[in-house]
Amino acid sequence: MQGRWSRVVRTPLGLTATALVVLVLALACLGPVLWGTGADAVNTDDILALPSAEHWAGTDNLGRDILLRSLVAARPSILLALVAIVISVVIGLLLGAAPFVLGRRTGRLVSAAVNIAVAFPGILLALFFAVVFGAGATGAVLAIGLSGAPAFARLTQTLVAGIAARDYVAAARIAGVGRFRVLFRHVLPNIAEPLVVNATIGAGSALLSFTGLSFLGLGVQSPSYDWGRLLYDGIGAIYVNAAAALAPGAAVLLAGLAFNLFGESVAKGLGIPAGFGLRALATTRAAAVPEPAVHGEEDHEPSDDVVLDVRDLEVTFPGPTGPVRLVRGVSFEVRRGEAVGVVGESGSGKSLTALAITRLVADHGRVDAARLDLLGHDLLAPDTAVRRRLLGTSLAMVFQDPMTSFNPTRRIGAQLAEVATHHQGKTRREAMARAVDRLAAVRIPDAEARARQYPHEFSGGMRQRAMIGMGLMGKPALIVADEPTTALDVTVQQQVLDLLAAIREADDVALVLISHDVTVVGEVCDRVLVMYAGRVVEDLPAAGLATAAQHPYTRALVEAVPDMATDLTRPLATIPGRPVGPADAPPGCAYADRCPLADARCRAEDPPLVATEGRHRVACWHPGEPVRPTEDLFETVESL
Amino acid sequence: MSELRFEDVTVRYGRTTAVDGVSLTVPEGEVVGLVGESGSGKSTLARAAVGLAPLAGGRITLGGAPVPTRGRPRPLQMVFQDPYSSLDPRMTAGESVTEAMPPGGSRAGRRAEVERLLELVHLDPVCAGSVPSRLSGGQRQRVALARALAARPRVIIADEITSALDVSVQGAVLNLVRELQRELGLTILFISHNLAVVRYVASHVAVLRNGRVVEQGPADRVLTEPSHDYTRALLAAVPGRPTPRSQ
């Protein structure tokens, strides 16, 4: 928390805004003390004087120094604006939190009232209230406070509704915690930050509105004065002494700017995750020199058979304390028609590997590789039309959430057809025909009618199939599917997996399937890459997952997942500890801390990924050694 | 008696009927697994039981009496799917657990109780001082379990509590559920879309589809000799089982 606030001050804009706000507040505190007497000193000999060395902004009709008066006016102006914003926030909070406390029906009435109030322009409301309360400082404060309240009520309501939908609020209510207690313990603390930010910005606008009211003669009355009043007095003589109006005007501008900038830089500082920026990226470039290929791999000649060839892939992101390597030297190849599964837990780098292959890693991430070839074309080469066409037609990507991978405002058919018009130069009619054909190919019934529908008219499984259909618009040699069935129900999952398998068989398309689910990967794929902390720790035939796995992590992963034949009398196998984050990957094997086989060497030296037999590769100093053979878990595996 | 009984329960959201005349009994000291796909009404049924969703028909009773949804004590507690949103990010684990305890008792007594509960879910009592962002997903889910236990419930509803967890910790949480159930004799309604997980923890299984229970009975019977076509389809879709295609 402390860190996030101090980050606000560390940006140039934030620092300037903070300095301005401090200056304005200091002026409000000290102004009357320092210059109060000077500002009120009447000098009838020197009325309406022009700016001079003695009176920088001239004098008014009683010979008082306008600059001093502008400085002294800071206190009433700021104070009144702050009182007004406090009124706005308090009333806003009460109205905004009311629906949460009152329950559904009464709450709805309050929200409706707030919604109507929001529709009135603030300044009109202020004028209305100013007339009701009469001209004067009190009336104006109430007017501006009340007119600002609906906006805060609306904001509070939205924020409260967001927090109220969270499970921890539900949990507290289920535990019998009262509504008011939930409001004060769970809801308000979690909406405080955006409210504070908006109140700061609101203070700036309240100041402006207040100046406006005073300027119109509805605010502070003589002999008291604030900036608006000074502006009102000075404007009459603007052609004689421009400084008389400009001095209070500049003060208003500066103070308003100070509050607005401060609020906005706080909002920015609190909203953006740590340390991303040019500086962090610059250090990345120096530090992330790809390691020499010490991974003990025999360099195969790339054969025609290889669709995707990845060597020493590294993906680096800037972090708060320097660059973080999230994918660390991943090497594998995918042959024509082959299905390769990539499994791992969250944070293992499996999805980033997929994004790196498809060149979709976010801009501030860096992708390095000794080789990243698709069908013999270098994917790391600069972005050209040729490369885009290659990616657009030879590579298909399927994402986890089919709802967000389609544009919701365009028809499915048109979105598919775009691939053909864009990359293959087809006419719209041809492209549309192809789109319908492809939808039929992914087993969408009544494809012609379906092509004219929007994404929301498709079910989840249907959308995922349409997404695959989009990938089939070209002639893909490789489909990269990132958790394609995680968001789907089991019965639908099976249909999608079957579809992927059928496409593979029909066109000899290679598949890279990323999943956290070992059983899915085991069922669909020929080979499985197991990833841990950004590295491939084992590459083995899928058929051997249950029996031939050699890395202790792979074995534990397989044992930890219950299936329909798990022995119910024994506890499930578990992996002690927690996955190591890529940022704190140790010098040795990243799994050593959780591994029952780990010894001193494992902690000191990272084991290279070496071939054991055939294409089976494993990165372990103790591959295949029995894990506490007397333990139950081990027998469980054998009995499977 | 802490038998949780749903009698002809119907829940509507506007014009959609999420739960349609469900009758289901969770016998005392048993774990009943509720399976179904998304939109089948599993979570709605759970929310109705704890009073978060209004009933349009039927009744839900605990030990013969309606489930209290106001004040304390609350004998029915719930553990949510996502441990990242079910704990207040600004409260320490200890505070979250304490909040759910029945009021009364000394400060020291409460602290000791927090420690006992955290140990019960195999967490280091030091975790009591940590905010959720410093805990892993599995640890958070344990805190959520401890919080549910803090209210001294007679029945716990576990709504997809392992779906948001990594596989390496899912097993540990499932072991914990079984252990707690055995040691404390808890009555649990265990909701999951994962049949293998339900098979592992539940003695009875109910299959929900489109808001209706299509089949229920002892787990070993429902999962080996399903009588409803839909249950059969669900079982056939479980990955890792030999399917006609892969043979």
**ipTM of predicted assembly, 2 dp:** 0.86
| Residues A495/A415, Cβ–Cβ less than 8 Å | no
- Express each pLDDT in A438-477 by its tens digit: 898 888 888 899 999 998 888 888 888 888 888 888 888 9
Instruction: Give A376 to chain B, closest Cα distance, Å.
Output: 32
pTM, 2 dp = 0.78
A239 to each of A50, A173, A234, A244, how far by Cα in Å? 11, 66, 10, 10
Residue from the list B37, B85, B175 with its beta carbon closest to the beta carbon of A574: B175
Q: Which of A174, A463, A574 to mutate to test the interface with B (most CBs of B within 10 A)?
A: A174
Q: Inspect the interface and report whether the beta carbons of A578 and B193 lie closer than 8 Å.
A: no
Average pLDDT, integer, range B199-218: 93
Residue from the list B87, B151, B171 with its beta carbon closest to the beta carbon of A574: B171
pLDDT at B31 > cutoff 80: yes
| Residues A321/A314, Cβ–Cβ less than 8 Å | no
pLDDT at A304 > cutoff 90: no
Q: What are phi and psi for residue A583, nearest 5 degrees?
A: -70, -30
Q: What are phi and psi for residue A227, nearest 5 degrees?
A: -65, -40
Instruction: Give A182 to chain B, closest Cα distance, Å.
Output: 10
Interface of B with A in 117-156 (CB under 8 A): 136, 138-139, 144, 147-148, 150-151
Which residue would you say has higher pLDDT here, A558 or A282?
A: A558
Q: Residue A201, Cβ neighbours under 10 Å: how many?
A: 18
- Express each pLDDT in A118-151 by its tens digit: 888 877 877 788 788 887 888 888 888 988 899 9
Average pLDDT, chain A: 83
Residue where the block lists tokens 């989009």: A470
Q: Which of A1, A2, A168 to mutate to test the interface with B (most CBs of B within 10 A)?
A: A168
Give the C-alpha separation, A493 to A31, whole Å: 71
**Strands A395-398 vs A377-378: parallel, antiparallel or unpaired:** unpaired
3-state secondary structure A557-603: HHHHCCCCCCCCCCCCCCCCCCCCCHHHCCCCCCCHHHCCCCCHHHH
Q: Which of B40, B98, B168, B228 to mutate to test the interface with A (most CBs of A within 10 A)?
A: B168
Q: What are phi and psi for residue A541, nearest 5 degrees?
A: -65, 135
| Residues B155/B75, Cβ–Cβ less than 8 Å | yes
Q: Which of A286-290, A328-332, A403-407, B101-105 has the highest mean pLDDT?
A: A328-332
Q: Inspect the interface and report whether the beta carbons of B172 and A494 lie closer than 8 Å.
A: no
Q: Which residues contact A179 (CB under 8 A, 6 or more apart)?
A: A100, A101, A173
Q: Inspect the interface and report whether the beta carbons of B175 and A571 lie closer than 8 Å.
A: yes
Residue from the list A185, A519, A562 with its beta carbon closest to the beta carbon of B174: A562
- Express each pLDDT in A411-446 by its tens digit: 999 998 988 888 878 888 999 999 999 898 888 888
Tokens found for residue B102: 């029945």
Give the C-alpha separation, A230 to A237, whole Å: 11
pLDDT at B246: 39
Residue where the block lists tokens 């070992």: A518
- Write out the E strands in A347-495: 366-368, 371-374, 377-378, 395-398, 478-482
Q: Inspect the interface and report whether the beta carbons of A562 and B199 lie closer than 8 Å.
A: yes
| Residues A131/A123, Cβ–Cβ less than 8 Å | no
pLDDT at B199: 93
Q: Residue A441, Cβ neighbours under 10 Å: how many?
A: 18
- Express each pLDDT in A71-116 by its tens digit: 888 888 899 999 999 999 999 999 999 988 887 788 889 999 998 9
Tokens found for residue A15: 């620092």
Hey, is the C-beta of B191 within 8 angstroms of any chain A C-beta?
no
Strand partners, A512: A340, A480
- Express each pLDDT in A391-405 by its tens digit: 778 888 888 877 777
Q: Cis (ω within 30 of 0) for the bond into A302?
A: no
Hey, is the C-beta of B78 within 8 angstroms of any chain A C-beta?
yes
Which residue type, as a one-letter code, is found at position A231?
L
pLDDT at A47 > cutoff 70: yes
Hey, is the C-beta of B8 within 8 angstroms of any chain A C-beta?
no
Average pLDDT, chain B: 88
Q: What are phi and psi for residue B151, nearest 5 degrees?
A: -80, 5
pLDDT at B130 > cutoff 60: yes
Q: Which residues contact A296 (CB under 8 A, 6 or more apart)?
A: A608, A609, A610
A365 to each of A176, A308, A314, A397, how far by Cα in Å? 46, 21, 10, 19
Burial degree of A101 (CB within 10 A; 0-12, 13-18, 19+): middle
pLDDT at A363 > cutoff 90: no
For residue B177, list chain A residues with Cβ-Cβ distance below 8 A: none
Give the C-alpha separation, A110 to A99, whole Å: 7
For residue B198, list chain A residues with Cβ-Cβ distance below 8 A: none
* Nearest alpha-carbon partner for B5 in B21, B31, B23, B30: B23
pLDDT at A358: 84
Task: Return the domain boundaries, chain A.
Answer: 16-49+62-271, 306-524, 527-639
Hey, is the C-beta of B89 within 8 angstroms of any chain A C-beta?
yes
Q: Inspect the interface and report whether the beta carbons of A561 and B223 lie closer than 8 Å.
A: no
| Residues B44/B212, Cβ–Cβ less than 8 Å | no
Instruction: Give A285 to chain B, closest Cα distance, Å.
Output: 30
Strand partners, B66: B61
In which element (H, E) is residue A310 found?
Answer: strand A306-319
CATH topology of domain A16-49+62-271: MetI-like fold (1.10.3720)
- Express each pLDDT in A503-532 by its tens digit: 888 888 999 999 888 888 888 899 999 999
| Residues B168/B149, Cβ–Cβ less than 8 Å | no
* Nearest alpha-carbon partner for B130 in B108, B174, B97, B177: B97
* Nearest alpha-carbon partner for A398 in A321, A497, A530: A497
Hey, is the C-beta of B96 within 8 angstroms of any chain A C-beta?
yes
Helix/strand/coil for A105? helix
For residue A573, list chain B residues with Cβ-Cβ distance below 8 A: 171
CATH topology of domain A306-524: Rossmann fold (3.40.50)
CA dihedral A381, A382, A386, A392 (to 10 degrees): 90
* A5-37 as b/e: b if 16+ CB within 10 A: eebbeebeebeebbebbeebeebbeebbeebee
Instruction: Give A525 to chain B, closest Cα distance, Å.
Output: 11
Residue from the list B38, B138, B147 with its beta carbon closest to the beta carbon of A489: B38
If you compute the radius of gyration of chain B from its CA atoms, what whole number of angstroms results? 18
- Express each pLDDT in B222-240 by its tens digit: 999 999 999 998 888 887 6
Residue of A nearest to B67 (CA): A174
Helix/strand/coil for B29? coil
* Nearest alpha-carbon partner for B152 in B72, B91, B67, B209: B72
Q: Cis (ω within 30 of 0) for the bond into B73?
A: yes
Q: Alpha-carbon torsion A318, A322, A324, A325, what sign?
A: positive
Q: How many CA atoms lie within 13 A of B35 on its CB side?
A: 32
Average pLDDT, integer, range B172-177: 90
Instruction: Give A14 to chain B, closest Cα distance, Å.
Output: 25
CATH topology of domain B4-75+153-237: Rossmann fold (3.40.50)
Residue from the list A167, A174, A185 with its beta carbon closest to the beta carbon of B77: A174
Task: Return the domain boundaries, chain B.
Answer: 4-75+153-237, 90-152
Q: Inspect the interface and report whether the beta carbons of A523 and B240 lie closer than 8 Å.
A: yes
Hey, is the C-beta of B180 within 8 angstroms of any chain A C-beta?
no
Q: What are phi and psi for residue A342, nearest 5 degrees?
A: -120, 115
Q: Alpha-carbon torsion A367, A368, A369, A374, what sign?
A: positive
* Nearest alpha-carbon partner for A265 in A586, A7, A581: A7
- Express each pLDDT in B191-208 by its tens digit: 998 898 999 999 999 999
**Strands B65-66 vs B16-26: parallel, antiparallel or unpaired:** unpaired
DSSP secondary structure, A271-303, as one string: HSPTT-SHHHHHHHHHH-PPPP--S----PPPP
